[in-house]
Amino acid sequence: MSPSVASPAQTVPTARRALPGAPFLAAARGERPAHTPVWFMRQAGRSLPEYRALREGTSMFDACFDPEMLAEITLQPIRRHGVDAAILFSDIVVPLKAAGLDIDIVAGTGPVVAEPIRDAAGVRALPVLEPEQVERVAEGVRLLVGSLGETPLIGFAGAPFTLASYLIEGGPSRNHEHTKALMHSEPELWHELAGRLADMAITFLSAQLDAGADAIQLFDSWAGALSERDYREFVLPHSAKVLSAVAGYGVPRIHFGVGTGELLVAMRDAGADVVGVDWRIPLDEAVRRLGGGVVQGNLDPALLHASWPVLEAEVRRIHAEGRAADGHIFNLGHGVLPGVDPDVLTRVVGLVHELQ
């Protein structure tokens, strides 16, 4: 289990911590730590009663911009589950909100944009994100790195394609029809929009890294809607811009998307040190396609609702498949679903840590 962690500290470090014994960071470098590290996407909240109690009466955005609250929410699953890394409590659309866009996170729906952006005027009116606009997030990061002990903190941002999809569609989309239509019909406008969103992601990630985050993950949640050809032409240059911009920090860069089995090599080529894999392909097949490297994943989140013998068998299978990689970080193939028993997550962590 991970070392105990304190409540958010009032004294905060100004430099990134040295964490030579952190299994998560070792695996991300392609090393073989004493146990396979594990963390869960959406581990900060969702299934935790202490999270729901803390969030009661507080909107998602208010929680994301409250340094003490976001730090406490980030710490909760570390205390409860003993995972090997913390993931900052935030949302991929936080930088859009911080920059001044009229966007809301609607329960049961997701991000909803008041005025979708579908023309040149809308793209050129997109505001620039300034570092001071996410200073309260950075303050939360500084509180966390003063409280996490030896546990690394993962910062994150949404990739340009996924952010653009929300802005163009006006919210979550099954088919991304408006996004794809603009991408193909007005490629210059698309690249201008994606470039602006890449700059926004760079500012957001840099703020987290400057405050002491130990790794970053770039979420391209909806990239799986694209062919590899379209991904390489319209998306890869902008994700590569983001990942390249933070390379100088020397921290692991994870790249993850849903339904991206056919895009894994392209996502690696964008500059990822670690490629996140969803549950649709076996990890050893992902490693074969990638020709090696470090992978993260890839338990089907729905199976957290299965009986323990079924879940245990799946965890053991994925752990065994992960041995094909140079390094393996155990995770889900997407985020924790609401209604999952937190004790099941704790039990999965214990099992992963026991496996050799």
Q: What is the pLDDT of residues 159-193, one digit of tens each?
A: 999 999 999 999 999 999 999 999 999 999 999 99
Percent residues over pLDDT 90 in the chain: 90
Active site amino acids: 42, 46, 55, 91, 166
Integer Rg of the chain from CA: 19
CB atoms within 10 A of CB 339: 9
- Mean of the per-residue pLDDT values for the chain? 94
CB atoms within 10 A of CB 12: 17
State residue 16's pLDDT score.
Answer: 80
**What token pair was written down for 215?**
């790794």
State residue 9's pLDDT score.
Answer: 43
State residue 13's pLDDT score.
Answer: 42
Please state the pTM of the whole predicted model.
0.94
Q: What is the pLDDT of residues 82-117, one digit of tens each?
A: 999 999 999 999 999 999 999 998 887 889 999 999
Q: What is the pLDDT of residues 112-164, one digit of tens each?
A: 999 999 999 999 999 999 999 999 999 999 999 999 999 999 999 999 999 99
pLDDT > 80? residue 12: no
**What token pair was written down for 40?**
């869960």
**What token pair was written down for 114?**
């008041």
Spatial CA neighbour of 264 closest among 243, 237, 292, 245? 292
Burial letters 95-114, b for 16+ CB under 10 A, else e: bbbbbebebbbeeeeebbbe
pLDDT category at 3 given cuts 50, 70, 90 is very low
12-21, 40-49, 69-78, 328-337 — which is least confidently predicted? 12-21
Mean per-residue pLDDT, 229-252: 98
Residues 82, 352 contacting (CB under 8 angstroms): no
